[in-house]
Chains A and B, each alone.
Chain A
Amino acid sequence: MTSQDRVPMVQLLNPEGEYGVPSAYAEYGKYIEALKEEDFLKFYRDMARMRRFDYEATALQRQGQLGLWIPAIGQEAAQIGSGYAVGHNDHIFPSYREHGVAITHGIDLMSILKMLRGVNHGGWNPDETRFHLYAIVLATQTLHATGYAMGVKFDGKVGNGDLENDLAVITYIGDGATAEGEASESFLFAATNKVPLVYFIQNNQYAISSPVATQTTVPLFQRGAGFGVPGIRIDGNDVLASYAVTKKHMDDAREGAGPHLIEALTYRMGAHTSSDDPTKYRSKDEEEYWKARDPLARLEKFLRRQGINQSFFDECEAAGEELSAYVRSETFALGNPPIENMFKHVYSEAHPLIEEQLAWLEGYEASFDDASGNGGAH
């Protein structure tokens, strides 16, 4: 962590909430200048929403309502900022922790909870939302994204000088997943095919319990360089840097500049998942260091400096209460999905083996006493 601190990174909002564009990063300033007050409020509102959702989901897991929860507290700025920088035609290939990016693209948060309860596989339509399904297998989404971006290029939807109609692809990946072979394969194909793709690495410092220093000897923003994917590091807890830098490189990608990599230096303030206990591998001091760099608190300081008054923050708090109550009551009322769901999407067309298996399972389920009411499938 300390050695990484010395690597320069794009920071437009310091931990005290003061805004400034260093001359080295002047090119990013215009993206912030184009924002209106409502945009800043939207950033805060959704970051607060994301955090509140995370707290509630954590509690629901501890109450036996979810099989697993994957917290993202601390990564709000990286996700909300970059998520809003994605254009209206662009496609997003997330990992499994991108609840904030999901919020920026209107995904019903209940879909995410259903997946972590095991009653659906995501449940949203990537064609409509342009937010693809969570990739549980590490780094596979980088290949999906590369393939999609190659398709975009084959379709001629890139480099026409038309930022409104051209499109680019962004994929989210963690620091740990950069060590997967898929990530390297993806860098190579993205570079040699010069596809419109932005890699957004959220370096949250740990691959479950392995600190980033044990995973790489060079900063991750340099990881793609040898393949031909240039990179830049940003302060991942600065929502403005996250927005501006992503916006610029998505625009560049749409204009045909080829792939680019953004490393957002951030910190997972909670556990890797609800099955993990971070106190076993990291220190209180380290957690305190990052708490002082809390992305939400930083944006709040900025907004207060801008004259945003308490009533706005009260509104956000009330909205959080409402969201909590909503996901609680919805989650507690979730039944079991019909058993045919698990067979539905194995093949795109009817398949005799699948039909046979479904018939067997239906027979098996029907052989239980319905009186128990415990089989939601009846």
Chain B
Amino acid sequence: MSQIAYFNLPDVGEGLTEAEIVTWKVSVGDNVSVNQIIVEIETAKSLVELPVPFAGVVSELLAKEGDTVEVGKPIIAVKVAGTVGAVSTATSAIKIIDENEAAAAAADIAASVTDEPKKTPNLVGYGVMEGSHSGSRRRRGPIAATAPAVAAAAASLPPANPATELHNTVALASSEKVIAKPPIRKLARDLGVDLANISGSGVAGEILREDVVNGATQASVFRNLSTPEAPKTAEERIPVKGVRKAIATAMVQSAFTAPHVSIFVDVDATRTMEYVKRLKDSTDFAGVKVTPLLIMAKAMIWAVRRNPMVNSTWTDEEIIVHNFVNFGIAAATPRGLIVPNIKNAHEMSMLELAQAIQQLAATARDGKTTPADMKDGTITITNIGVFGVDTGTPILNPGEVGIVALGSIRPKPWVVNNEIQIRQVTTIGATFDHRVVDGDVASRFVQDVASVMEEPALLLD
């Protein structure tokens, strides 16, 4: 008598549920010996070679190369001469039938390959709760509860549905606790999703990525749009002092002494974004913060060289054209807006400038910016893009005649070679003191800055 022995796909990792058949090393009709490698599979963890547990002749390969097979499904049938020894039913790793029953059994096996997943016990398997619940075991009725807590849990279970019972029991036990992996928690935080409000669709109520994403479409719509409670008093009076007062004075002085003229230009900053990414990845810039603002700053310093008038100071007697750049950066700090500047920025390499900007921002954030840091600026940049704003009409820092605003950079339709493409687009807004800078100079300066944003390679000039 001979037997047909089926080798079911084992869980070769700890709690794997499926694997892909990569390469069969044997064909139907081949003789195989015990532990001969018959197939290479790829699991979520690695490529693994499987040795066959029986000796005999391969009678059938039950999965094709490229197929993803669930753990517990048969992958190969071997016709065994004589009989396989004692085999425990404790695992479902193999199945053995007598050859004369093979025809009937083959239909079963074939069905099980294409069927709904058969629930298979994994030896180790904290990852697959359903899998550990054998489909062939059927509960006869509710269990005799011995403890009150268990009784309560059992009573609240839906009526016998063997396929889901275990799952429900687990979900019930853990209903008070949010179950989510760390990356999912971070995603939720980034998207402003409160995990406590999300019902998880995973095993035991685990919150999965798609649960968070689905929750986020709603959450992000309402983000920051909640209506604050109505104030109890009719009005609130805030004393004008300190930084607020200084800002106000400077703005009034600037706006009402210097006739402001603002111009705007849209620019395709895709290459700038690519350049930023390249700099970030380069070892020279390791640990240095690289942002589009850096490229824009470098662009402005370069454009100043070509259009020196924008880097000057108006006194009623004379125009002082500076041949150095003390590069101002408007910084929002907890105490309000301040404009410290980087002295002699025109002498700096890209790396030095990046380090200086990083230093300036850190000092400002810590509230340690000194008056000297804010004195003698010659031209300023204001980065309003970080607030999600497209552009604005900046007001000049007193004593200066030019300021440029960097708006948000985001994907937008853009015409390239008469075709609409999605490009990283931003708007540059700039304001000048018309007493010094006329429209032609202003336009040329802004165009120069825009050119660099479109093609940072110009900086290599």
A→B interface (CB under 8 Å): 55-56, 59, 61-68, 117-119, 274-277, 279-280, 328-329, 332-336, 356, 359-360, 363-364, 366-369, 372-376
Q: Let me know if B14 and A360 touch, CB within 8 A.
A: no
The stretch among B104-112, B139-147, B273-281, B300-308 that forms the contact with chain A is B139-147
CA distance A315 to B45 in the complex (A): 39
If A275-B45, A360-B147 touch, whether A64 touches B93 (CB-CB below 8 Å) is yes
In the bound assembly, the distance between CA atoms of A25 and B345 in angstroms comes to: 67
Complex alpha-carbon distance, A279 and B92, angstroms: 30
On chain A, the residues within 8 Å of B246 by CB distance are none
Q: Is the CB of A63 within 8 A of B50?
A: yes
Quick one: closest B residue to A360, CB to CB?
A: B146
Residues of B within 8 A of A364 (CB): 143
Q: B420 at interface (Cβ–Cβ under 8 A)?
A: no
**Assembled-state Cα–Cα distance A336/B121 (Å):** 12
Alpha-carbon separation in the docked complex, A274 to B35 (Å): 16
Question: What is the number of residues of chain B that contact chain A, defined by CB distance less than 8 Å?
Answer: 47
Task: Tell me the dominant secondary structure on chain B's binding face.
Answer: loop
B234 interface residue (CB < 8 Å to A): no
Judge whether B89 and A363 touch: CB under 8 Å. Answer: no
Could you give 16 example pairs across A and B, Cβ below 8 Å?
A59-B53, A61-B10, A63-B7, A63-B10, A65-B53, A67-B122, A67-B124, A68-B124, A275-B14, A333-B86, A333-B87, A360-B146, A366-B143, A367-B143, A369-B140, A374-B134
Contact across chains for B138 and A372 when beta carbons are under 8 A apart: yes
Given contacts A62-B10, A65-B93, contact A335 B88 (CB under 8 A): yes
A333 to B96, CA, bound (A): 13
Query: Chain A's nearest CB lies how many Å from the CB of B450?
Result: 47
Q: Is the C-beta of B214 less than 8 angstroms from some C-beta in chain A?
A: no
Q: In the complex the two chains form, is A68's CB within 8 Å of B146's CB?
A: no
In the complex the two chains form, is A356's CB within 8 Å of B146's CB? yes
Report if A372-B136 is in contact (Cβ < 8 Å); known contacts: A62-B10, A332-B87, A360-B150. yes
Contact with A along B118-132 (1 / 0, CB 8 A): 000111100000000
B87 pairs with A63, CB closer than 8 A = no
CB distance from A109 to the nearest CB of B (A): 17
In the complex the two chains form, what is the Cα distance from A336 to B92 in whole Å?
A: 12
A277 to B42, CA, bound (A): 11
Binding site for A on B (CB under 8 A): 7-14, 34-35, 45-53, 85-94, 121-124, 134, 136-147, 150
Residues of B within 8 A of A56 (CB): 35
Query: Other CB < 8 Å A-B pairs besides A62-B49, A277-B47, 9 of them?
Result: A61-B10, A62-B48, A63-B10, A64-B92, A333-B88, A336-B90, A369-B138, A374-B89, A376-B88
The smallest C-beta distance from A19 to any residue of chain B, in angstroms, reads 35
Nearest A residue to B72, CB-CB:
A64
What residues of chain B lie closer than 8 Å to A363, measured between beta carbons?
A: 143-146
A376 partner, pick from B90, B124, B147, beta carbons under 8 A: B90
The distance in angstroms between the C-alpha atoms of A364 and B14, with both chains bound, is 26
Q: Which residues of B have CB within 8 Å of A376?
A: 88-90
Q: How far is the CA of A123 from the CA of B228 in the complex (A)?
A: 66
> B411: shortest Cβ distance to chain A, in Å?
36
B53 and A63: CB pair below 8 A? Answer: yes
Q: Are B124 and A368 in contact (CB under 8 A)?
A: no
Q: How far is the CB of B341 from chain A (nearest CB, A)?
A: 45
User: B93, A59: Cβ atoms under 8 Å?
Assistant: no
Q: Tell me the bound Cα distance from A66 to B146 in angstroms.
A: 34
Q: How many Å from the CB of A238 to the closest CB on chain B?
A: 30
B123 lies within 8 A of A63 (CB): no
A-side contacts of B89, CB under 8 Å: 335, 373-374, 376
Contacting residues, chain B, for A280 (C-beta < 8 A): 46
Interface-centre pick from A62, A66, A118, A119 (highest chain B CB count, 10 A): A62
